[in-house]
């Protein structure tokens, strides 16, 4: 196995572990209900942000 494949596997594992730890911290601090609402609001906030950036003319040109 090439060295970059091994490094890629470690990077993916490390990032997944970091996400798991931060998610558990957020649940502990905010509670399960507030954290769940946040995760469902992320796509909505993303779409609104995209719309606002395009509306203001700051979006990329096609």
Number of domains in the chain: 2
26 and 39 belong to one structural domain:
no
* pLDDT tens profile 9-32: 777 888 889 989 999 999 999 999
Please indicate, yes or no, whether residues 11 and 1 belong to a single structural domain of this protein.
yes
Q: What's the pLDDT at 20?
A: 92
pLDDT at 2 over 90: no
Same domain, yes or no, for 22 and 37? no
- DSSP for residue 57: T
Considering the domain architecture, whether residues 20 and 44 belong to the same structural domain is answered as no
- Whole-angstrom Cα distance, residue 57 to residue 62? 12
Q: Is the pLDDT of residue 62 over 70?
A: no
Range of 37's domain?
Answer: 31-62
Q: Do 61 and 43 sit in the same domain of this protein?
A: yes
Are 24 and 5 contained in the same domain?
Answer: yes
Q: Which residues of 10-30 are buried (b: 16+ CB within 10 A; e: fewer)?
A: eeeeeeeeeeeeeeeeeeeee
Beta carbons of 42 and 50 less than 8 angstroms apart: no
Contact 38, 30 (CB under 8 A): yes
pLDDT band at residue 58 under the 50/70/90 scheme: low
């Amino acid at each position: 196995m090439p060295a970059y494949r091994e490094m890629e596997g470690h990077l993916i594992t490390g990032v997944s572990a970091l996400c798991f730890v931060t998610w558990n911290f957020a649940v502990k601090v905010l509670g399960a209900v507030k954290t769940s609402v946040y995760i469902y609001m992320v796509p909505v906030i993303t779409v609104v942000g995209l719309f606002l950036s395009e509306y203001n003319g700051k979006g990329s040109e096609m």
